[in-house]
Amino acid sequence: MATVRVFALSLFFVALFTGAKSVPFIVLHGIGDSCKNSGIRNFIKILSELSGSPGYCLEIGHGSWDSWTKPLLKQTAIACKKVKKMSDLGQGYNIVGLSQGNLIGRGIIEFCDGTPPVKNFISLGGPHAGVASVPLCGSELICTLYDIVLKLGIYSRFAQQNLAPSGYVKIPIDIAGYIKGCRFLPKLNNEIVDERNSTYRQRFTSLQNLILIMFEQDKILIPKETAWFGYYPNGALHPVIPVQQTELYIDDWIGLRALDEAGKVKFINVSGDHLDISHSDMKTCIVPYLSDQTPIVPRPKLKHSSGWSSSIWSFLLEMFGVHEDLTVLSNDI
């Protein structure tokens, strides 16, 4: 009889505390890529199989071309609308960002109203603090556009409206031009003194985990440490300042310091060039944050000194006739 009671109690707690469903995730691809490309499809398939969570690639416009030519504020607005329409994300979801896609992912978190909550944000090679040069152009048409931009200036109106990377190019020796002319990253990073928005910070600090993956041999991001929010000092092209010594972190413009001090930021360094992540690193660095199981019934933090918590435990133990010491179990809840 005691065995039956213990088994019944076990079933009760399984139903109460582990009644969960997998959390879906979306992938936001990088510049020049597309959801229809085999590399992206395989990437999502591997992550889904390893984590047991459904994954989706969120395409913006016409994929590769629009990733180059559509301003990032417009790309973010499109992403916001799509996320709201995806019923599978309604209870919350995770984001996996690839390179430029990370900035759109952060834009969803910080700028979008009425979207489902983002739980974990996994960033692979994200230019979070900016880049000191435009990425390789990759195609004849884009290179032609790139040449025009170089002649007019990266912070010109033409560049900001027609070349997506211009929205996060941060030239260290022209910070005034960056703040005045760049239309995306200064807003995203809350860098504009008179326009700092506490809502962006509040939304960003709501993340459960922020995973920042930097590639050791990255030759696309200049500097590579931008993947960790590290960057050059204002007015100089060297050395790279660690994130903890930047104004963004010290003054906590977006809540990065708050997240870090709460133990929610993971700074991960992997071997490889830009986005060249191995299967084993995917399994180690990404999958654990996609396998997050969210209980249907939230588990409160039990304080053993509180009357209601001890009463509940006593009631359950009395009901099932179990008197074993459950101190270890209760401490884990």
Q: Please check whether residue 202 is in contact with residue 188, taking contact to mean a CB–CB distance below 8 angstroms.
A: no
**Torsion sign, CA atoms 152, 155, 160, 164:** positive
Rounded CA separation 25/9 (Å): 34
Domain boundaries in the chain? 2-11+297-331, 20-295
Q: Please check whether residue 126 is in contact with residue 96, taking contact to mean a CB–CB distance below 8 angstroms.
A: no
- Cβ-based neighbour number of residue 154 at 10 Å: 22
pLDDT, tens only, 116-138: 999 999 999 999 999 998 776 65
**Domain 20-295, what fold?**
Rossmann fold (3.40.50)
Q: What angle do CA 202, 182, 273 make, to 5 degrees?
A: 80
pLDDT, tens only, 139-156: 556 666 666 776 679 999
Q: Check residue 61 and give its pLDDT.
A: 87
Note the pTM of the prediction, 2 decimals: 0.81
pLDDT, tens only, 233-287: 999 989 999 999 999 999 999 999 999 999 999 999 999 999 999 999 999 999 9
Q: CA 117: distance to chain centroid?
A: 12
- Cβ-based neighbour number of residue 201 at 10 Å: 18
Q: Please check whether residue 212 is in contact with residue 123, taking contact to mean a CB–CB distance below 8 angstroms.
A: yes
DSSP codes joined into one string, 19-39 = -EEEPPEEEE--TT--TTSHH
Catalytic residues: 99, 218, 274
Residue 147 has φ and ψ, to the nearest 5°, of: -65, -40
Q: Check residue 327 and give its pLDDT.
A: 29
Measured N-to-C along each axis, helices 72-85 and 101-111 cross at an angle, to the nearest 10 degrees, of 70
Average pLDDT over residues 177-185: 97
3-state helix, strand, coil in the chain (%, to 5): 50, 15, 40
Q: Please check whether residue 223 is in contact with residue 217, taking contact to mean a CB–CB distance below 8 angstroms.
A: no
pLDDT, tens only, 293-330: 443 323 233 333 333 333 333 333 343 343 333 322 22
